[in-house]
A and B are shown apart, each in its own frame.
Chain A
Amino acid sequence: MNSRPLMLLRFATSATEEIGSTPHGKLSIFPVTGGSFEGERLRGKVLAGGGDWVTAKADGTFELDLRVTLETDDGALIHMTFTGVRDDANHYLRTLARFETAAPKYAFLNRLLAVGIGQIRPEGPVHAIEEIL
């Protein structure tokens, strides 16, 4: 499959909210307090208020479910979601990202699917998001 870089996305998170064991597994919420994104076609900051709903599954992997709002440097708001898998045993953190925006300049985001290659760094999670061509 062909892809091309869309953005490098960094999140700042605050203290994890541990919901605990639910019927689906152990649920932890990672509130997103900020961050930044940068790519050839868009750049800006991550607004506070989103988060990643992370469920620890019985097989030792984590299911990710993220919702955030991105604000571009020219003032457009972009709703971003991803689902994904974090499998620490195999150093695998991959996400499937989608975007929604009303800004005509960024309407191309409404029409694409994307994959994220994630890393957990000391300063927070970093995701290299690639557009699926």
Chain B
Amino acid sequence: MNTRLLMMLHVTVATPQNIGAVPHGTRRTAPLSGGDFEGPRLRGTVLPGGSADWLLLRADGVLEMDLRVTLRTDDGALISMKSFGLRHGPPEVMAAIGRGETVNPATYYFRTTPRFETAHPAYAFLNRLVAVASGDRRAEGPIYTIHEVL
């Protein structure tokens, strides 16, 4: 599989909303308070309004992530990004992340599959691609390295 770097995306997480035990697992919503992104073809900031990560901890210990983010480029285009992801790893690593510690992202699986929608002609190429990302969970919020699938 060939890929190329699309952007690095940093998001900051506000206070999570713990929904609790639901029929599919344990649900938590993490609103985003902001962030920024930068890549060879686009850069800008994360709008806090409609951006959050809807999290579901499954019975098998895997965390499902349903991230929805609005990006605003430095030239004013709005881009809607949605990405489904999975996060799991050894219990001690996941516990360290839970305590807000910085851990080596190679020690756990944190991958997502972003899709994009925009009406802005300069960024229409984003409507026509699928992407994959690897995540690095930091205390202030995740850092995603997003690659376009070529």
Contacts and interface: CB of A to CB of B under 8 A. Distances in A.
B112 A92 contact: no
Interface stretch (A48-56, A71-79, A80-88): A80-88
A110 B60 CA distance: 9
A95 B84 contact: no
Interface stretch (A12-20, A36-44, A112-120): A112-120
Contacts of A85: 128-130
A59 B129 CA distance: 13
B57 interface: no
Interface residues of B, number: 22
B84 to A, nearest CB: 7
A24 interface: no
Interface of A: 1, 3, 57, 59, 61, 83-85, 87, 90, 92, 94-96, 98, 107, 110-113, 115, 117, 130, 132
Interface of B: 1, 3, 60, 62, 84-86, 88, 109, 111-113, 115, 124, 127-130, 132, 134, 147, 149
